Homo-oligomer: A and B are copies of this chain.
Amino acid sequence: MALAKESTPVSTRNETDQEAEYRAQTRLWLRLLACTTLIEGELRRRFREEFDFTMPRFDVLAQLDREPSGLVLGELPKRLMVSAGNLTPIVDRLVADGYITRTASNLDRRVQIVCMTVEGRKIFRRMAKSHGAWLAELLADFPADRFDGLIGELDELKAAVRDALQKP
């Protein structure tokens, strides 16, 4: 890093150490971001080209595929880690296009239940299969015997970050 053009006074020595420590964490973060961006960009491109579909739409369907009896709308932002307001137009479009239904609960009229249609499920399955194949293709050169190890590390990383976010 080209930070040290001026000589650092003795009094800021711990500052320099601090920056050295930050560097390792920044490297990890940049690698994580680079991998995600790389894969995400390619997946988006293929979704668009092959199915004229977007990843956020696919992600919603993926959640609903696991729930044959549908899902309370409010569950989606939690599971997908996006804001609630974001989902409104996405769900709107999926409904308009016939992939899912949205029905108000009659126990609590604030609540809405979203559920994949038969036709939606059929199309989703086709896309999910391609999605798996694309990932397999993109990850083919990564040694198969190190998959589980990396998954485990990332699980721990995620747990550690979650813990850190809980603390304050």
Which A residues form the contact surface with B (CB < 8 A)?
Answer: 1-3, 7-10, 18-19, 21-29, 31-42, 46, 49-50, 65-66, 68, 81, 129-143, 146-151, 153-165
Chain B nearest CB from A61 CB (Å) reads 14
What are 13 A-B residue pairs whose CB atoms fall within 8 Å in the complex?
A: A9-B133, A9-B137, A9-B140, A23-B132, A24-B151, A25-B139, A26-B132, A26-B135, A31-B154, A31-B158, A139-B160, A139-B164, A150-B157
Which of B3, B35, B155 lies in contact with A161, CB distance below 8 A?
B35
With A130-B7, A141-B163, A164-B141 known as contacts, the answer to whether A158 contacts B25 (CB < 8 A) is no
B residues less than 8 Å from A35 (CB atoms)? 32, 154, 157-158, 161
Whether the Cβ atoms of B7 and A134 lie closer than 8 Å is yes
B residues less than 8 Å from A19 (CB atoms)? 129, 132
B residues less than 8 Å from A21 (CB atoms)? 136
Whether the Cβ atoms of B132 and A160 lie closer than 8 Å is no
Which of B66, B137, B151 lies in contact with A28, CB distance below 8 A?
B151
Whether the Cβ atoms of A22 and B132 lie closer than 8 Å is yes
Chain B nearest CB from A57 CB (Å) reads 16
Chain B nearest CB from A42 CB (Å) reads 6
**Bound Cα distance A42, B168 (Å):** 13
B residues less than 8 Å from A155 (CB atoms)? 31
Known: A31-B158, A34-B154. 5 other contacts (CB 8 A): A24-B151, A31-B151, A138-B164, A139-B161, A142-B156
Whether the Cβ atoms of B81 and A37 lie closer than 8 Å is yes
B residues less than 8 Å from A32 (CB atoms)? 32, 35-36, 39, 154
